[in-house]
C-alpha cells in the first residue's frame, strides 16, 4: 500500500512553542458535530453565540465583531486592509518580527508607513510614538503588537492608544498572542481595531481570526473612496453575512466555528480574571524554573509575557540539537527564534490549555536531562523546585 493511502496517526505532542497550542478534548469533540449549511437557522444561532462571546473576551460592545475565515495573518490583513487606503499614513511600532509584518502589509495597502522602533526584547516607548504623530500630519492609524510573539515582550498598548487618540488617529492592535490569556480591554483602552487568532490562548485549532472594529473604525470603513484590496477580507461584505440578513459572502468553516464556540464557552466558564491569573501564575513559575537552570530570559524585566517566554540560548549550545531532543525523546515542542533572533533564543508558549503546572514541570524536567548532554551543566531538581515555590507563594495576580 502506498504511504499516502495509509491512515495518518500524528504523535501526541506537548506543544509549548509559539503556537499552535494543544486543544482541549471538549473543543475537538464539538468539532465532530454534523456540518450544517451556512444559511441553516441552527447555524445562525452558533454565529450569534460566537459574536456575543467574542465581545465579552475582547471586552467590547463593538457591533462589528466576528471571526474572519483564516489564520491570524488574515486578521492582520483584514485589519489594515479595511482601514487603509492608498496614500494614507500609518505609524507602526516595531520591536519584533510581527511589527515588521504590520509594516509590510501596510505598504502593500499603499500606505506611507512610518516606523517607531525599539530594540528587540524591549517595549515600545509611547512618547516616541507621540513624537512621530507630532511630526507627521494626518496620520490615519497607529498599529502595534500587544504581545510580540517573536520576543516575548508585552507592549504598553493602553498608553499608545491614548497617544493615538490625542492625535485623532485610529489604534490597531495585534492581539494574536494575548487574547484569552492576558487582558485585552478594547473599550477601556480606547482601541479602535483589534484582531487575534484561534490557535493560541483561545485554545482552538488554527483557522479563524477574531476581529473587532469600534465606531470610529466603522465610520472609516463606511467612508472609503476605494474598496479594500482583498474581496475575501472585505469586512463591509463579510459583516452582511454575520448580520441578521445572512447575505452569502463565502462558505464559512463550519466545524472550526463549532470549535471556536466551545473554546469561548470554556473561557467564560473559567472567568476572564481567573484565566488571566492562571496564565500569569504559570508564566512566573516557568520564568523562575528557567532562571534556576541558569538560563537567561531575553525580554526586558517588567515587560515579560506569561504566555510566551523568550530564553537566551547559552554560548556553545546547539539550538537544533536541544529542540530535537525535546521533541524526539520527550514529545515536547518549543519554538526557535524568528528573524534577527534565529539561533539566539528559544520561545516557550504556555497558552490556553497548556498554561498549567504539569506543562511547566514536564519541560523543566526534560531540560534538566537534555542540557547537560549538550555541555550545559544544571543543578538537578532545582528548576522544578523553583517553579513549585512560585506556585505555592501566590495567585500570580501581579501583572509584570
On the CB side of 393, CA atoms within 13 Å amount to 15
Query: What's the gap between Cα 70 and its chain centre?
Result: 14
Specify the pLDDT at position 398.
43
90 φ/ψ angles, rounded to the nearest 5 degrees: -120, 130
| Consecutive 10-residue averages of pLDDT for the chain (400 residues) | 93 97 98 95 96 98 98 98 98 98 98 98 98 96 98 98 98 98 98 98 98 98 95 95 86 97 98 98 98 98 98 96 98 95 97 98 98 94 97 63
Q: What separation in angstroms does the CA of 392 have from each of 352, 361, 389?
A: 21, 14, 5
Dihedral of CA atoms 178, 387, 295, 155 in degrees, nearest 10, equals 20
Specify the pLDDT at position 400.
38
Asked if 83 contacts 170 with a C-beta cutoff of 8 angstroms, the reply is yes
Specify the pLDDT at position 395.
56
Assess whether the region 31-268 and the region 271-393 belong to the same CATH fold: no
Specify the pLDDT at position 245.
75
Asked if 324 contacts 309 with a C-beta cutoff of 8 angstroms, the reply is no
Asked if 172 contacts 142 with a C-beta cutoff of 8 angstroms, the reply is yes
Residue 12's contacts (CB-CB under 8 Å, 6 or more residues apart) are 331
Using a 10 angstrom Cβ sphere, with 0-12 exposed, 13-18 middle and 19 or more buried, the burial of residue 320 is exposed
Kindly report the length of the chain: 400
Residue ranges per domain, the chain?
Answer: 31-268, 271-393
What is the reported pTM? 0.96
Q: Is 84 helix (H, G, I), strand (E, B) or coil?
A: coil
141 φ/ψ angles, rounded to the nearest 5 degrees: -155, 155
Specify the pLDDT at position 394.
72
Asked if 112 contacts 90 with a C-beta cutoff of 8 angstroms, the reply is yes
Asked if 142 contacts 160 with a C-beta cutoff of 8 angstroms, the reply is yes
Residues linked to residue 66 through DSSP beta bridges, in sequence order? 211
Q: Does the structural domain 31-268 have CATH classification 3.40.640.10?
A: yes
Summarize pLDDT for 92-135 with one digit per residue, the tens. Answer: 999 999 999 999 999 999 999 999 999 999 999 999 999 999 99
Pick the CATH number of 271-393 from 3.40.50.620, 3.30.565.10, 3.40.50.2000, 3.90.1150.10: 3.90.1150.10
Specify the pLDDT at position 399.
41
Amino acid at each position: 500500500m502506498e504511504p499516502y493511502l495509509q491512515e495518518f496517526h500524528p504523535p501526541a505532542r506537548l506543544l509549548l512553542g509559539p503556537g499552535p497550542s494543544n486543544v482541549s478534548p471538549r473543543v475537538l469533540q464539538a468539532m465532530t458535530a454534523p456540518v450544517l449549511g451556512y444559511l441553516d437557522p441552527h447555524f445562525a444561532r452558533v454565529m450569534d453565540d460566537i459574536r456575543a462571546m467574542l465581545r465579552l473576551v475582547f471586552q467590547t460592545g463593538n457591533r462589528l465583531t466576528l471571526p474572519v475565515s483564516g489564520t491570524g495573518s488574515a486578521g492582520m490583513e483584514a485589519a489594515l486592509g479595511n482601514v487603509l487606503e492608498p496614500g494614507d499614513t500609518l505609524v507602526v511600532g516595531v520591536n519584533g518580527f510581527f511589527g515588521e509584518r504590520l509594516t509590510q502589509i501596510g505598504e502593500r495597502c499603499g500606505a506611507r508607513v512610518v516606523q517607531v522602533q525599539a530594540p528587540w526584547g524591549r517595549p515600545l516607548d509611547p512618547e516616541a510614538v507621540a513624537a512621530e504623530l507630532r511630526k507627521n500630519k494626518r496620520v490615519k492609524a497607529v498599529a502595534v503588537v500587544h504581545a510580540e510573539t517573536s520576543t516575548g515582550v508585552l507592549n504598553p498598548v493602553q498608553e499608545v492608544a491614548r497617544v493615538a487618540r490625542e492625535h485623532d488617529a485610529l489604534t490597531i492592535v495585534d492581539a494574536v498572542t494575548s487574547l484569552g490569556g492576558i487582558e485585552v480591554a478594547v473599550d477601556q483602552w480606547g482601541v479602535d481595531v483589534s484582531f487575534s487568532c484561534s490557535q493560541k490562548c483561545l485554545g482552538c485549532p488554527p483557522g479563524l481570526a477574531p476581529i473587532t472594529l469600534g465606531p470610529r473604525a466603522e465610520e472609516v470603513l463606511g467612508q472609503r473612496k476605494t474598496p479594500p484590496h482583498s474581496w475575501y477580507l472585505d469586512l463591509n461584505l463579510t459583516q452582511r453575512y454575520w448580520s441578521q440578513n445572512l447575505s452569502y459572502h463565502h462558505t464559512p468553516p463550519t466545524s472550526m466555528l463549532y470549535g471556536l464556540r466551545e473554546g469561548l464557552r470554556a473561557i467564560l466558564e473559567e472567568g476572564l480574571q481567573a484565566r488571566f491569573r492562571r496564565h500569569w501564575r504559570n508564566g512566573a513559575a516557568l520564568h523562575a524554573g528557567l532562571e534556576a537552570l541558569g538560563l537567561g530570559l531575553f525580554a526586558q524585566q517588567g515587560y515579560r509575557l506569561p504566555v510566551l517566554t523568550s530564553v537566551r540560548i547559552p554560548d556553545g549550545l546547539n539550538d537544533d540539537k536541544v529542540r530535537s531532543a525535546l521533541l524526539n525523546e520527550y514529545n515536547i515542542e518549543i519554538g526557535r527564534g524568528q528573524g534577527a533572533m534565529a539561533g539566539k533564543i528559544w520561545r516557550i508558549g504556555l497558552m490556553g490549555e497548556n498554561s498549567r503546572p504539569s506543562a511547566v514541570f514536564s519541560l523543566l524536567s526534560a531540560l534538566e536531562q537534555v542540557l547537560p548532554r549538550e555541555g550545559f551543566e544544571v543543578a538537578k531538581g532545582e528548576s522544578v523546585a523553583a517553579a513549585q515555590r512560585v506556585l505555592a507563594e501566590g495567585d500570580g495576580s501581579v501583572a509584570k
